């Protein structure tokens, strides 16, 4: 059996800027994930790297 590694797309400057905008606007991580078309875990990880706090829940 072979282990498969799924590489995620690199974060672009535009995607990081959008993540910052949405985080400051208190958009929930799940909605940011949909907006950026990235897994929630990837959004949370990048936000943590950038020192951004994310809202919890899928409220609109």
pLDDT for 56 beyond 50? yes
Angle at 50 between CA 47 and CA 56, to 5 degrees: 25
Give the per-residue pLDDT at 36. 98
Is 6 within the bounds of a domain? no
With 0-12 / 13-18 / 19 or more C-beta atoms within 10 angstroms meaning exposed / middle / buried, residue 52 is middle
Angle at 43 between CA 38 and CA 49, to 5 degrees: 140
Is 4 within the bounds of a domain? no
Q: Please tell me the pTM assigned to this model.
A: 0.81
Average pLDDT, the chain: 89
Q: Between 21 and 1, whose confidence is greater?
A: 21
Is 31 within the bounds of a domain? yes
Instruction: Give 10-17's long-range contacts (Cβ < 8 A, gap of 24+).
Output: 11/46, 16/46, 16/50
Q: Which domain holds residue 31?
A: 13-50
Give the per-residue pLDDT at 60. 47
């Amino acid at each position: 059996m072979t282990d498969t590694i799924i590489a995620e797309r690199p974060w672009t400057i535009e995607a990081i800027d959008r993540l910052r905008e949405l985080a400051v606007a208190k958009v929930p991580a799940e909605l940011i994930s949909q907006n950026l078309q990235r897994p929630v875990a990837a959004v949370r990880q990048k936000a943590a790297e950038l020192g951004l706090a994310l809202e919890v829940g899928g409220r609109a």
